[in-house]
Amino acid sequence: MSKQLTLSTLLEPWAELPTTPADEVMVSHLELDSRKVTQGTTFVAIKGHAVDGRDYIASAIERGANAVIAQASDTHCHAHVETQGNVPVVYIEELDKELSALAARLYPLERMQLIGVTGTNGKTTITQLIAQWLDLVKQRAAVLGTTGNGFLDALQPAANTTGSAIEIQHTLAELEAQGAQYTAMEISSHGLVQGRVKTLPFKAGVFTNLSRDHLDYHGTMEEYERAKLSLFTQHLCETPVINIDDPVGAKWAQQLDNALAVSLKPTQAKNAVYAKHVEYSEEGISLAFTGSFGDGEFTVPLIGEFNANNVLVAFATLLALGFDKQQLIESASQLKPVLGRMELFQREGKAKIVVDYAHTPDALEKALLALRVHCTGKLWAIFGCGGDRDTGKRPMMASIGERLADKVILTDDNPRSESPQLIVQDMLAGMDQPSAAIVEHERFKALQHALNNSSENDIILLAGKGHEDYQVLATETVHYSDRESAMQLLELSQ
């Protein structure tokens, strides 16, 4: 729950303020977006990556801000206090780097245990498997991430994988007030670099894998890797749980003294949970494990090798947190597939449709390899690439589709401000036989074509959007859902 603090008390760690109206102002809600300021809100004005919040101080005051905490500058030095329209404006040095600590003073956590999950792929699946498993062993668990924030049965939409430092702390405090004992949260590389989780105490930090993504932001894979590693080296992380089947994870596990290594293969790591035997069937994954917590086996109703890895990582994390192994084993069969993550839609006599969020080369490759094991007919791949994002992914993804699927349909993802035709041209450039690919820009029609031209033994992977129910075009965002398309075309009730 949020506290109420005077402005001067809130800012004590950073500045000793002179006796001013700031002593009288009570702060109960912080807001970074001036458009969301209402009567009694305290506006936090930082110099952001794209927008300078200090340009909107007057606007926030007009909307009813009771005070402003602003980033110091050459013209407004640290701890300087001024009033604008009877509203105190306090300037703090490098405020953009202090948001996590500032938010923690107003929205403190008392008992909640935090689990942070970072990596290119698998974050959503692992956080939701952890939360499901915790619920099954009678713990109240929430998630923060791509598919939304809150308890699994009542997720609220999230604008970003990792929200602002203030949003995160406020949301966590609200979840704790609603009874959450644990929260598993996805942590993006952007969130780590920008200090959005800087002061959060993670009971466990999880690394899934690292592959090409976000190079439009980080520039190089080395910088991207450094960003992810910082969860374990520059943040408050008690126990690192590392997937060592990923080469980057294998390297990190040797660098991090107290890491718990997780693998689908035998390992010599001194602190580890690894699989002795994994079996895949249409019913799911059966997994026998051994390692630092002893032996056991369980079955989960999920598809594909990378989900075996995700499940084992989630399981190892809960073992590291001290949960009873037998209770976890006994409840494993009740775990459910995650919304829009290798989610299967089927109807007798028709090809199976699998909706997945795969939107990176690595994720697309893993999804197709996972489905190949289950496919007795032709394997179809329908996917596109986002506009205004890393263009280097486009030929790579098309090449992977051509190599691993029997039929490829290139379609639109979120074209944003780019020409959909030019995006597809970039993709076709990565194919040995581009003329064999079908191009259908409308995702619904692409899926319709695949269904009309497939047999009941075929599997159609519809990749890229997963849980999303919108599509971002040049001038508007429209409602669109791959899951709804699958259900409509298979005539399944929603």
User: What confidence tens digit (pLDDT) does each residue in 451-475 have?
Assistant: 999 999 999 999 999 989 999 999 9
> What integer pLDDT is reported at residue 1 of this predicted model?
57
Task: Say how far apart CA 435 and CA 425 lie, in whole Å.
Answer: 12
* 481 belongs to an annotated ligand binding site: no
* 186 belongs to an annotated ligand binding site: no
* 118 belongs to an annotated ligand binding site: no
> What integer pLDDT is reported at residue 85 of this predicted model?
87
* 121 belongs to an annotated ligand binding site: yes
Q: 306: pLDDT confidence band, cut at 50, 70 and 90?
A: confident
* 292 belongs to an annotated ligand binding site: no
* 32 belongs to an annotated ligand binding site: yes
* 125 belongs to an annotated ligand binding site: yes
Q: 21: pLDDT confidence band, cut at 50, 70 and 90?
A: low
Q: Which residue has the tokens 């080296």?
A: 233
Residues in Cβ contact with 153 at an 8 Å cutoff, skipping those fewer than 6 apart: none
* 243 belongs to an annotated ligand binding site: no
Residues in Cβ contact with 459 at an 8 Å cutoff, skipping those fewer than 6 apart: 351, 352, 353, 354, 371, 374, 375, 377, 378, 379, 380
With a cut of 70, say whether residue 493 has pLDDT above it. no
- DSSP 8-state class, residue 54: G
Phi (first) and psi of residue 358, to 5 degrees: -50, 115
Per-domain residue ranges of the chain: 5-97, 108-334, 343-489
* 188 belongs to an annotated ligand binding site: yes
* 226 belongs to an annotated ligand binding site: no
> What integer pLDDT is reported at residue 120 of this predicted model?
84
Q: 5-6 and 26-27 as β-strands: parallel, antiparallel, unpaired?
A: antiparallel
| pTM, 2 dp | 0.83
With a cut of 80, say whether residue 279 has pLDDT above it. yes
> What integer pLDDT is reported at residue 326 of this predicted model?
98
Q: Which two tokens stand for residue 49?
A: 């990556």
Which amino acid, residue 484? E
Task: Say how far apart CA 418 and CA 276 lie, in whole Å.
Answer: 48
* 416 belongs to an annotated ligand binding site: yes
CATH of 108-334, picked from 3.10.129.10, 1.10.10.10, 3.40.1190.10, 3.30.420.10, is 3.40.1190.10
With a cut of 50, say whether residue 245 has pLDDT above it. yes
pLDDT tens for 138-172 read 999 999 998 899 999 999 987 776 678 999 999 99
CB 308 within 8 A of CB 276: no
Q: 63: pLDDT confidence band, cut at 50, 70 and 90?
A: very high
Handedness of CA 404, 409, 414, 419 (dihedral sign): positive
Read off the pLDDT of each residue in 264-276 and give the average, rounded to a whole number: 96
Residue scoring higher pLDDT (370 or 202): 202
* 468 belongs to an annotated ligand binding site: yes
Task: Say how far apart CA 492 and CA 465 lie, in whole Å.
Answer: 20
Read off the pLDDT of each residue in 393-403 and give the average, rounded to a whole number: 97
SS3 261: strand
With a cut of 90, say whether residue 131 has pLDDT above it. yes
* 223 belongs to an annotated ligand binding site: no
CB 63 within 8 A of CB 36: no
Q: What is the side-by-side strand order in the sheet with 260-263?
A: 150-151, 141-144, 182-186, 113-118, 201-207, 236-243, 260-263, 272-281, 284-291, 296-300
With a cut of 60, say whether residue 6 has pLDDT above it. yes
* 258 belongs to an annotated ligand binding site: no
Q: 217: pLDDT confidence band, cut at 50, 70 and 90?
A: low
Task: Say how far apart CA 97 and CA 46 lie, in whole Å.
Answer: 9
With a cut of 70, say whether residue 41 has pLDDT above it. yes
CB 332 within 8 A of CB 300: yes
* 454 belongs to an annotated ligand binding site: no
* 413 belongs to an annotated ligand binding site: yes
Task: Count each helix (H run) and each strand (E run) in the chain, helices first.
Answer: 16, 25
Q: 419: pLDDT confidence band, cut at 50, 70 and 90?
A: very high
Q: What is the mean pLDDT of the chain?
A: 93
> What integer pLDDT is reported at residue 417 of this predicted model?
96
Read off the pLDDT of each residue in 367-376 and give the average, rounded to a whole number: 89
* 123 belongs to an annotated ligand binding site: yes
With a cut of 80, say whether residue 81 has pLDDT above it. yes
Considering the chain, what percentage of its residues have pLDDT values greater than 90? 80
Neighbours of 417 (CB within 10 A): 10
Read off the pLDDT of each residue in 393-411 and give the average, rounded to a whole number: 98
* 213 belongs to an annotated ligand binding site: no
> What integer pLDDT is reported at residue 20 of this predicted model?
61
Q: 218: pLDDT confidence band, cut at 50, 70 and 90?
A: very low
Lowest model confidence (mean pLDDT) among 155-164, 184-193, 295-304, 424-433: 155-164
Read off the pLDDT of each residue in 229-250 and give the average, rounded to a whole number: 94
With a cut of 80, say whether residue 39 has pLDDT above it. yes
Phi (first) and psi of residue 278, to 5 degrees: -130, 135
Q: Tell me: domain 5-97, CATH 3.40.190.10, correct?
A: no
* 414 belongs to an annotated ligand binding site: yes
> What integer pLDDT is reported at residue 115 of this predicted model?
98
Closest CA relative to residue 459, chosen from 320, 359, 346:
346
- At the second CATH level, the architecture of 343-489 is Alpha-Beta Complex (3.90)
> What integer pLDDT is reported at residue 223 of this predicted model?
81
> What integer pLDDT is reported at residue 213 of this predicted model?
54
